[in-house]
A = this chain, B = another copy of it.
Amino acid sequence: MSAESPSDQSVPDEVHETLMEATYRALCAEGYANLTMQRIADEAGKSKSLLHYHYGTKHDLLLAFLRHLMERFDAKVDATEGDAPDERLRYLLDKMVPNDGGDGDDDEYDTFGLALMELRTQAPYDEAYREQIAKNERVIRERISAIIRDGIERGVFREVDPDRMTALLFAALDGARLQRVVLSEATDDESAIHPRDVPTEVRTAIDKFVLSDLLTEDR
């Protein structure tokens, strides 16, 4: 099965959705290294053989899951169509930080974020993961970039290189997530900012130091 012609296109939509949700919950519970098809089947209330029948190996299922994440991101962006470019941009950036409002208690963000980091560090050893992850990140960049380009055309944002601005925003929130998920349990009571609070702190920094300057009305 290649990333181009996923066999999961033949899976009924409802079953696919159930299994992708089950994969998400299993990754949160087991992490990447301990993930098994049995655990995903248990989470879905389906048989293991059904999983293999529809998706092939665990590797194939995880590729389908990566495509599912991309499609979900795409759907989120589409849902904002018609909103003002600055609102759309802020909304998408908000989606990349935990929901815990800064109290650091979003366990799902940590366990799933860590599983994704572990999967990503496999990319150099696994061509199919690598190409799918590259595609996911390309889609994220293209969608954010298009919103910035639209904002410039409408005069909401000042003239910047949209791809360069996107690279900065995406890398900052990605790095913040990395720093949090690997160190969320660190004792570390000496830091000005605990690793757990880095994503919300970086999100605020983006508002104060980057977006304030990007918006034409603030200049």
Contact = CB atoms under 8 A, between A and B. Distances in A.
A141 interface: yes
Given A130-B186, A186-B131, A171 B173 contact: yes
A205 B167 contact: yes
A159 B63 CA distance: 47
Interface in A147-167: 160-161, 163-165, 167
Contacts of A172: 168, 171-172, 175
A23 to B, nearest CB: 19
A195 B121 contact: no
B183 A175 contact: no
B182 A198 contact: no
B175 A138 contact: no
A188 B138 CA distance: 9
Which secondary structure dominates chain A's binding surface?
A: helix
Interface in A162-219: 163-165, 167-168, 170-179, 181-188, 190-193, 195, 198, 201-202, 204-206, 208-210, 213-214
Contacts of A214: 209
Given A121-B121, A138-B188, A163-B192, 9 more contacts: A114-B124, A133-B182, A137-B183, A137-B195, A141-B193, A142-B192, A167-B198, A170-B175, A173-B175
Query: Considering the complex of A and B, which 10 residue pairs feature the smallest CB-CB distances, nearest first?
Result: A175-B175, A174-B175, A168-B205, A171-B175, A134-B186, A172-B172, A163-B192, A171-B176, A134-B188, A123-B182
21 contacts: A114-B124, A120-B182, A121-B182, A123-B183, A130-B182, A133-B183, A134-B186, A137-B179, A137-B195, A138-B191, A141-B193, A142-B192, A145-B192, A160-B209, A163-B192, A164-B204, A167-B201, A168-B210, A171-B171, A174-B179, A209-B210
Interface of A: 114, 117-118, 120-121, 123-124, 130-131, 133-135, 137-138, 141-142, 145, 160-161, 163-165, 167-168, 170-179, 181-188, 190-193, 195, 198, 201-202, 204-206, 208-210, 213-214
